[in-house]
Amino acid sequence: MICTMSAAAVAVWLGTVVTILSRSHADRNVYPSAGVLFVHVLEREYFKGEFPPYPKAGDPSNDPITFNTNLKGYPDRPGWLRYIQRTPHSDGVLYGSPTAEHIGKPTVIEITAYNRRTFETARHNLVINIKAAEEFPLPYQAEFYIKNMNVEEMLASEVLGDFLGAVKNVWQPERLNAINITSALDRGGRVPLPINNLKEGVYVMVGADVPFSSCLREVESPHNQLRCSQEMEPVISCDKKFRAQFHIDWCKISLVDINKVVPVYVTRPEPGTGILPEFGEYKPPSESLKSRDYFSDFLVTLAVPSAVALVLFFILGYTMCCRREGVIQLVHHSSIQKSTKELRSMSKNREISWPLSTLPVFNPVSGEVVPPIHPDNYETTSMPLMQTQANLQNQITIPQQRPSGEDLKTAVL
């Protein structure tokens, strides 16, 4: 049966299909500052309403949703922007620190949500409008390494606020900003083992407008530097202000005063025109190729090694057959073979059995020699060293001595 549809019905049907497979949201605008940490959470609840509900009414919708983020028109994100989503049932996070060269240039990020149950998608654009900070960059920057945190845990506003509060309590600046957050895995760290609730670790860089406090500079003392070289924890007086929530590796702290940093200018060569120099017209090889003689190659490859091998064979034959030393070696080898053959022949012709501690070799009554266990043609070289009674199939039973009639009477009397 062939089904027919009108053009209007086809248009409506196609529009419905496209709407179900991919839905677009309106653009969202954010305004981060250059040199300040930017965090944007991709909430799963925001996209759940765009996907159809569960088949049964009233069931909680907990579809696995993943996100794909890229710069509009490009396959990846900008270099300063990172993305992380631990599981399909957790929110995704975009984070990074925009630089001064992006000020005034809107950055459009395409965000595509994939429903892993229904394989539907929803898409919207995130427009990042980077503005200049009041004081950029902050002159004093400190980077902390926190061992007991993952990057997505540190990006939470409550956790990051607690850390900045602890740093402000120690540093006492007027302005304090989080500049950047980096996972230890992005710095060459190893993935921790899934035991004892180990974390990946995270680097947090903060900036302030006042010099570093004495507590932060304690790690630069010779005593603490020696302890760090011996893989021991340094003694820091303000560590107790962080220890309750954050385990900081003070040996990896970095203190930078950008006012004292010597700028390095890299001289780049002048770009050329991009046009190759003139080398004239291309001249292909002629069609008539000259024949090549391979006889010399044959001599070098086969004839020369064969001749050398033949000479060595004649030298070895002359040494073994015509020289006195070679003849002596041949005679010695022949005598060894002859002696070995004679010993084997003698071992086959033995008239007694293989010696055993439990088997007599002669009859104790008549004195007759017991025949051998094995025949003369038995190969003794394959005989096991230790024989058992089960292996003695040809064992001869020795007759026991019977007392005579006179001896029996004497024994009775």
| pTM over the 0.85 mark | no
**Tens-digit pLDDT profile for the chain (413 aa)?**
333 333 333 333 333 332 233 444 557 899 998 889 999 999 888 888 777 765 555 555 678 899 999 999 899 999 899 999 999 999 999 999 998 888 888 899 999 999 888 888 888 899 999 888 776 778 899 999 999 999 999 999 899 999 999 999 999 998 899 999 999 998 888 888 877 788 899 999 999 989 999 999 999 999 999 999 998 999 998 888 898 889 999 999 999 888 886 665 656 677 666 666 777 777 777 777 777 788 888 888 888 889 999 999 988 888 777 766 667 777 778 888 888 888 888 877 765 555 544 455 555 556 565 555 555 554 554 554 444 444 444 444 444 445 555 544 444 44
Q: What 3 state SS string does the chain have?
A: CCCCCCHHHHHHHHHHHHHHHEEECCCEEECCECCCCEEEEECHHHHHCCCCCCCCCCCCCCCCEEEEEEECCCCCCCCCEEEECCCCCCCEEEEECCCHHHCCCCEEEEEEEEECCCCCEEEEEEEECCECCCCCCCCEEEEEEECCCCHHHHCCHHHHHHHHHHHHHHHCCCCEEEEEEEEHHHHCCCCCCCCCCCCCCEEEEEEECCCCCCCHHHHHCHHHHHHHHCCCCCCCCCCHHHHCCCCECHHHCEEEECCCCCCCCCCCCCCCCCCCCCCCCCCCCCCCCCCCCCHHHHHHHHHHHHHHHHHHHHHHHHHHHCCHHHHHHHHHHHHHHHHHHHHHHHHHCCCCCCCCCCCCCECCCCCCECCCCCCCCCCHHHCCCCCCHHHCCCCCCCCCCCCCHHHHHHHHC
Domains recognised in the chain with CATH numbers: 25-130 (2.60.40.10), 140-260 (no CATH)
